Amino acid sequence: MSTVIEVDNLGKLYRLGEISTGTLSHDLKRWWAKTRGKEDPYAKIGSVNDRTKRAVDNEYVWAVRNMSFQIRQGDIVGVIGKNGAGKSTLLKILSRITAPSVGEVKIKGRVASLLEVGTGFHAEMTGRENIYMNGTVLGMRRHEIDRKFDEIVDFAGVAKYVDTPVKRYSSGMMVRLGFAVAAFLEPEILIVDEVLAVGDAEFQKKAIGKMQEVSRGDGRTVLFVSHSMPSIKTLCKSCIILGQGQLEYQGDTTTAVEKYLNLNVDSISEFPAILDRETLRRNLDGVKDGTSPFLTLRQVSILNGEGKPTSSFTSKESISIKFDFDIHFVAPDFRIVISVVDNDNNAILNSQLTDSAVHENTIRPGSYSAICHFPKDFFATNTYMLTLHLINVKKEHYVYNGVVKFKVQYENPKYVYAPFDLTYFRPQLEWELMKKSDDEK
């Protein structure tokens, strides 16, 4: 397949502060340098877009810097990275919404983009008028748009509202119509930012299916930005990872997702193994259905098989989560629930105190400890987050989203070949291998 997007040493520099302050003189200096064939005088200044406390104060910030890559026709490429990594800036440059400060972008073919809710729509125009306007912008003739019109309206589910000004559409309707216009008007390159998250689950599934269809059937190229790793893994053949405005990785999706999920872990030797009362209080997401606290969570500890606090394990170690708390008055139906959650905060495993037969639902005032034990040979190589629920049923419900974090490294001397994707669980199950006799064949 031929290369349809070629990015060479791309950079986008923004000046912070008041708009227009000193920009005319800067623009003149840059123009004069370019006229004489000299280097941009501002190309070497500025800091990267570092959102941490380590960030250096600077008048200039590189939203994208020193970025080079190529994308071939028919590829579905995921663009992933933390907030502020430069994803949206890159897509705006590729969509020709903004110009690069340095570097060059070569694109072969028409580009349709869905970057924000309402992108490319005129609020006062109807859905019908916006469809034809977008098709015209893409260089299509009216009869070509006519052939696609019914499919667009049907896919977006806006038949009843197609002659209504889009300013009266909900955000979900805007996203559905915007995606349908971009996908069905046959651009050679389709760019979709994480705006699809606005749509419901049914529409997201349809959109992913459509992107797969246009890539496989029509050989069109798709760039897809999302924080949902399941969506990235389902849709994309390859990925690029951005960090602080720079390209950190380009390659296969499985490796990219693994690297992305561990971006926050590589710079940390360990997560806190003991969470004190103040830390827990700061991470309390809210109390549901209650006003007066029936308990105080004093401490949560992550322990290994020897009872020592740690947040780094091998798969050959058991893991225990210990809760220390005080009950202030009788709770007739008390529950502790832990949920192992994925990167999108979706529960992939639940367990609760009442699963054990030794516990009665009613709990009386006093100080308590509760421990949940995970056996060895249970987790795969991954970083795990646990959400805690402390519940007095029908009265109070305390939620601590993703407050417990730990890492596991899978360990098995016979584990050489891994023909499966990144996973969360790797339990050691019982297997049997039996050779059939000649009579059984």
Q: Is the same domain home to 349 and 392?
A: yes
Rounded to the nearest integer, the mean pLDDT of the chain is 83
- Cβ(327)–Cβ(295) below 8 Å: yes
Domain that holds residue 168: 3-265
Q: Is the same domain home to 82 and 52?
A: yes
What is the number of domains present in the chain? 2
* pTM confidence score: 0.60
CATH label of the domain that carries residue 136: 3.40.50.300
pLDDT in tens, 290-336: 456 788 999 999 999 999 999 999 889 999 999 999 999 898 889 89
Between the alpha carbon of residue 14 and those of residues 24, 60, 94, 248, 343, the distances in Å are 14, 6, 17, 21, 31
Q: Is the same domain home to 212 and 330?
A: no
- Look at 192-201, 269-278, 362-371 and tell me which has the smallest mean pLDDT: 192-201
Q: Is the same domain home to 184 and 96?
A: yes
Q: Is the same domain home to 254 and 291?
A: no
CATH label of the domain that carries residue 354: 2.70.50.60
Q: Is the same domain home to 90 and 130?
A: yes
Alpha-carbon Rg for the chain, nearest whole angstrom, is 27
Q: Is the same domain home to 143 and 243?
A: yes
Residue 198 has pLDDT above 80, yes or no: no
Which of 233, 265, 297 finishes a domain? 265
pLDDT in tens, 359-385: 678 889 999 999 999 999 999 888 889
Residue 222 has pLDDT above 50, yes or no: yes
Name which residue leads in pLDDT, 162 or 120. Answer: 162
